[in-house]
Each structure stands twice: as structure tokens, then as C-alpha cells.
Amino acid sequence: MASAERAPAAQGHLADPSADARPPHHNRKKNHHRRGLQGRPLASGEKSHDAGAAKTGAGKSGAVQAGGDQAASGQHTRHGEPLQAENAAGAGLARLHQPAHEPAGRPDHRRHGSADSADPADGLYAALDLGTNNCRLLIAQPTRPGQFRVVDAFSRIVRLGEGLAATGRLSPDAMDRSVEALKICAAKLKARDIRRARLIATEACRSAENGEEFLQRVRVETGLDLEIINRETEARLAVSGCSSLVGRETRSVVLFDIGGGSSEIAIIRIGDNRSSRLANHITHWTSLPVGVVTLSERHGGRDVTPEGFDAMVDEVGRMLDHFDCPPVGSLSNGEPEAGFHLIGTSGTVTTLAGVHLDLPRYDRRRVDGLWLSDDEVSAMQARLRSWDFTARAANPCIGPDRADLVLAGCAILEAIRKRWPSERMRVADRGLREGLLTDMMADDGVWRRGRQRGRGQRMFGRTEGNRA
């Protein structure tokens, strides 16, 4: 987001405008003691990190996940429906190096869904998000203004951040799992003509002592050059990916993205003159250094007692106490039905939606954009809390890979609901990857009618000729 991050309690300070603008692997130092809990947007005219990154090459997506992150099966979750996308500029290029070893696995050439009209000259765009819990890839083609069609997707639970909170390092097993998933992503990228891509890593690589060492291994073994984004960029991308879920009647939103190692929250206030870039309406943001993986490891996620659940809620609540933002009354403006609501983008929220709908199998088309009342959210949380580990693992919208994480996510959600009570919450099965794609497409002007496209070279796969 166009807000800044500094040391704890350094409110309103601007981040170094070049922090995300420099090339991904030059002079990147870890700042273990700069875990700021809150920030405010850059003042008008200030240069945002995303804009600086546009030339060099932004994620966590609770966004495109199968079965609330059921993607360990390799199941694709995009069915080709056009996604509304925010007209926001500012995403950069990624590079593909020649790997030392050929990526394992065959590319999946299946195209998803309906044949939306798309200009082949627009080419394909790719967004990869390596998070604390998941590795996710989307490859998409722009279609009508503000929309794109997903042509390939991949998502797998890798638990890169497993044990990180205790040791401060990425474990060998977690790195091995992640590299294998990234090899599949590399094969998919090489098999297609990718015009532009951005490949990002988030909290696990940000905070691990050996995060940079791991990314060097990824470059050698897969050819993929991932950049570590900061929390400000991560929060902003979450907003970009969900902008079409904020209706014209909405005046204010609290948007949250519960991840594996961190949770981003954005306060969005919309006046009469709505910008085409929803992120321009962010007034406050924060990144909590806690996610479903870290919280479940500290408190236990398999057998969660009522006291253990309350302890998790209290821990997150204490973190939120340090977030200085307007009270909920000023956000709703006396219009609770249309004026203010929550938007959640994470496996936790999509899981609640799937359980609420009693789906026999997770279906993104039914979950994305779903409205849940406050009572319905409370009922679903109570239902999940009443299940033991076996029952959670047996549910098709949770599965064994998330059964020990989902209650930690519910605890984070509960702390957010206590801080910002709302009569309604909207579910978003989208997030960082969509934000990345949106930003890149808007930055390239692919949705501008009559824009002449120039010549260039594809970043992955075959080389491209002249564009019409």
C-alpha cells in the first residue's frame, strides 16, 4: 500500500522510496529489527514503492486457492471466468535464468474456461507468490477493459515457514518442498509465451536468516528469480486484487489478508470521487507479524481447547491495540447496510464460506464474492471449533493439510471482528496474484482502447515477433 513502514511506534514516517525499486538481488539486506506494525499512505505526490518497482521487477494470495488452500493435490481453481481487475499501475518484470537442472514435471497446457475475446497481441502475464504456507502461480491474458482470463494456474501447500518462528531459519525439508513446487512453476512458465511476469516471496523469506540463501538456491535449481517484497507492497497488492468486490455504494471497508506468517489489514475510505485505483483510498494499513502457521505453532493447532483459542485471539488483539486508526463508528458513517463492511481474502475466510455453503467439494465460483452476515460468521466459527482434528481434516473444504491451521485463522479473524464489528463480511477468493496481474496489465496499458503496442521480447518460452 502506499503507506510506510518503519520501526515499531514510528507512525506516519515514509518508507525509503527506493526500497522496492532496486533490483531484486542487489544489496538486499534483512531488517530483522524493523518490524513495524502500522503505517499510513504516502502523501499525494510521493513516490510509492510499487511505482518504483515497475521497472525492476508484487505477494500472499488467499486469492486463488483450491478448497481454501486445498491445492496440495495440484488441483486448479480458476475456471476461466473473467475477473474484474483494478486499473492500477505499478508492477515489474521478473527474470528467468537458465537453471542448472531442468525443472521437474510437465507443463499443464489445459486452458481454463470460456473463450473470452482476447487480443493475442496482448500476450500472457504471470504472477507467482511464494508465501509462508503456499506456492501459487497464475498465468492470464487480458480481455475486456479491467478483466483478464486465467489460462493456467498452480497452487500447492509447501509450508515454507514451518518451524521458522522457533529457529529463525527455513528448514531443509521446507525448502525442498518449495523448490519442487517452484520447478513445476518454472516448467509452466517456460512452456508459454510470457510477455511479463513478477515473481515474489513474502514473510517467510523476509524474516528467515537464510531467506536470501534459499532464493539463491531457487535461482540455481529452477531459474526463477524471486524478489522479496515488503509488507507495505504486500498489503497494497491485496487491495488491488480485491477491488472489484467493493461496490459503488460502499463508503468504507476494512480489508484483511490472513496469511501463513503475517496478516495485512487495510482501512479504505471512499468519497464521492472514486479513483479507478482502489489503493488510492487507503487511509491506514498494518501488517501483523502473525499468521496461521506461526500462531498454530505457538499455541498448537491440532487439539485446540476453548482456552487455547481465546489465548490466540488475545495475542492478536494485543497487536491490533497498537494500530492507530479511526473507530468503526466513523467508518460506517451511520450507514451500516451499505456504508461499511469487511472483506476477507485468505484460506480461513474461504474455508468458512465453503463450510457455510456445505459444499461437497470446494468451488471458487460459489465462494468468491459471497456475503456472510455477522451471525453466519459466528455460527461457522463455532461449528469449526466444535470439530476435532479428524472432523476438520475430513471436511472437503478444509482437508488434512489445513486442519491444524484453520482454527488459528479463525482466531485472527475473531480478533479483527472484535476490533471492527460489522454486520456483513464479503469473501474474496483472490488476492496478491490478481493484484500483481492487474498492476502489470494496467502499467502496460493493455486495456486502453486504440493503444498501439510496440515490439518486445517475451520473458519466457518462445520469442515474440512484432506486435500489431
| pTM (two decimals) | 0.72
Query: What pLDDT does residue 267 have?
Result: 94
Of all residues in the chain, the percent with pLDDT exceeding 90 is: 57
- What residues are paired with 148 via a beta bridge? 83, 142
Measured over the CA atoms of residue 415, residue 419, residue 422 and residue 426, the dihedral's sign is: negative
Closest to 440 (Cα-Cα) out of 129, 141, 64: 141
SS3 350: helix
DSSP at 113: S
Residue 234 near residue 262 (C-beta atoms within 8 A): yes
The one-letter amino acid code at 248 reads R
Contact 158, 181 (CB under 8 A): yes
Q: What is the arithmetic mean of pLDDT over 113-137?
A: 75
Report whether pLDDT(378) > 60.
Answer: yes
Task: Over range 51-56, report the average pLDDT.
Answer: 33
**Local structure of residue 103 (DSSP, 8 states):** P
SS3 of residue 329 by DSSP: helix
pLDDT surpasses 50 at 102: no
Average pLDDT over residues 158-169: 94
pLDDT at 456: 41
Q: Can you count the helices (H) and strands (E) in the chain?
A: 15, 12
Most confident of 7-11, 42-46, 48-52, 459-463: 459-463
Query: Contact, 36 vs 19, CB < 8 A?
Result: no
Summarize pLDDT for 260-312 with one digit per residue, the tens.
Answer: 999 999 999 987 788 877 888 999 999 999 999 999 999 999 999 999 999 99
Average pLDDT over residues 182-201: 96
Write the CB contacts of 243 (distance below 8 Å, at least 6 apart in sequence).
84, 85, 86, 88, 277, 278, 279, 438
pLDDT of residue 449: 52
For a pLDDT cut of 70, what percent of the chain falls above it? 67
67 against 162, higher pLDDT: 162
- Residue 243 is predicted with a pLDDT of 84
> Across residues 110-127, what is the average pLDDT?
57
Which pLDDT score, from 0 to 100, does residue 22 have? 36
pLDDT digits (tens, 9 = 90+) for 385-419: 999 999 999 999 999 999 999 999 999 999 999 99
Instruction: Identify whether the C-beta of residue 287 lies closer than 8 Å to the C-beta of residue 5.
Output: yes
Q: What is the average per-residue pLDDT within 135-159? A: 93
Is residue 252 within 8 A of residue 270, CB to CB? The reply is yes
User: At 432, which amino acid appears?
Assistant: L
pLDDT of 390 reads 97
Q: Which amino acid is at 458?
A: R
Residue 147 confidence (pLDDT) above 80 = yes
